[in-house]
Structure 1
C-alpha cells in the first residue's frame, strides 16, 4: 500500500550530494514526505543515502528513472524505499517489489498500467502527463482499480487541480519545483505553492 500523507512526489533531478539536504529540508518544511533523486543525477546513490540518514524516519526516500534490476539493487544498498520508473518493465517492477520497495511505475496506456499492476506496482505514474491530458486520466479511471495514480511531466500549480479532479491521486513534480542550480529558498517557495494548490483542489 502506498504510504505518504501529502500526494506529491518531489523530483530532484540533477541535484548534487552537497546540496541535496538543503533542498530536501525546504521540501519537508513545506509538507512533502516523498522525495526521489533520479538516476541521471550526479552521484545519485550518495544523495539518496544522505537523505535517508537525515529524513528516512519521516519521508519516503528513493530514486527515479530506474530502468534495470541492477539499479534496484543499488537503490536498496543506498537505503532507499521508493522506486519510480518512467516506463513499464515488469521484470524491474517485480524485482523492486520483491526487494521491499514502494513502486510507482511509469505508464501511458491501459495495457501498460495493467502490466505494471500485475507485476506488483503499488502506484502508477502517468508520464508524460501533459502529453495525454486530464481527459486521458478520466478515461483510464473508468477501467483501473482504485490504485494511487500520479501525473508526472509538466505539472504546475495552475494545472495540478485539473489532474486531481480528473482522477489522479497526486503528482510528481520536476522542473517546476526544482532545477539544478537554484537555491533552497526558491525550492521552498515553489514547494509551498504546490502544497497550496494541492490543498485547494482537495
Structure 2
C-alpha cells in the first residue's frame, strides 16, 4: 500500500462526467488532510488532471488512477504521474503491469476466492467492492480466515460508517460519492465538501487500528 494511504487510511475517489472542477476539489481535499486521491478513467480528461496535479502536489499527495482495466492503461497512468492504480475487478494483466512499473495496484474483489486470488497475483491490497452493499460485518467475516491481506472497502461509505469499517479490520477506505458529493459539478458546494472531509478525517483518527 502507498505511504499516504497507510498514514491517512482514506483514498478520495473523483468520478464525474467532467473534470473541470477536479483540481479545485483536490485542493479542498488536501487542505482538509486527505493525502491519497484517485481519479477514475471514466472521468473525461482524468489523465490530464493527474499530470497537472503530479507537477503541483505529488510531493504531498499520492495520486492514482481508477477503473484501470488493461496493461496499456497502467502505462498511460504511470506516464501521467500515478503511483497507484485501481480496478473494479481482478485483472491479472493490470496487476502485473503495475508490478513492472513499481507502483501499487488495488484490484476490486468481493468473495474470499477473488480476494485471495488477487493477493496471490501480487496485488498491493484488495479493494472490497461494492462494500456498502454488505456492511462491516462482512469484512470482519472475511478477515477471520484472511487476516494477512490488507482490504480497502469501497462503495457507499460515508463519514458515519468510517469508524465501523476500520474497527472491522479495514486497512483503509475508498470514499467516492458520499465524500465528494456534488463538488465536481459546476455549482457544487466546496464548503460542504470541506466539512465532509473534516468529518471523515476526525472519524478515521478516532477509529482503532
Q: Over residues 131-172 of structure 1, what are the superposed CA-to-partner deviations in whole Å (9 max), with x where a residue is unaligned?
A: 221121111111224343211001011111111111112211
Alignment of 1:84-99 (within 5 A): 84-99=86-101
Number of the residue aligned with 2:24: 22
SS in 2 for 1:72: helix
Instruction: Name the TM-score, length of structure 1 as normaliser.
Output: 0.94
Q: Matches of 1:145 and 1:116 in 2, distance apart?
A: 15
What is the aligned residue count? 202
Q: Matches of 1:18 and 1:158 in 2, distance apart?
A: 29
Are 2:180 and 1:185 equivalent residues in the alignment? no
Query: Where has structure 1 moved over 3 Å in runs of 4 or more?
Result: 15-18
Alignment of 1:1-202 (within 5 A): 1-4=1-4, 5-14=7-16, 16-178=18-180, 179=182, 180-181=184-185, 182-202=188-208
Q: Matches of 1:99 and 1:117 in 2, distance apart?
A: 18
Shift of 1:33: 0.8
Name stretches of at least 5 consecutive residues in structure 1 with no aligned partner. Answer: none
Instruction: Name the TM-score, length of structure 2 as normaliser.
Output: 0.91
Q: Matches of 2:154 and 2:79 in 1, distance apart?
A: 26
Shift of 1:19: 2.4
Q: Matches of 1:22 and 1:58 in 2, distance apart?
A: 16
Q: Over residues 20-62 of structure 1, what are the superposed CA-to-partner deviations in whole Å (9 max), with x where a residue is unaligned?
A: 2211111111111100001000111101111111111111101
- Aligned-pair Cα RMSD in Å: 1.5
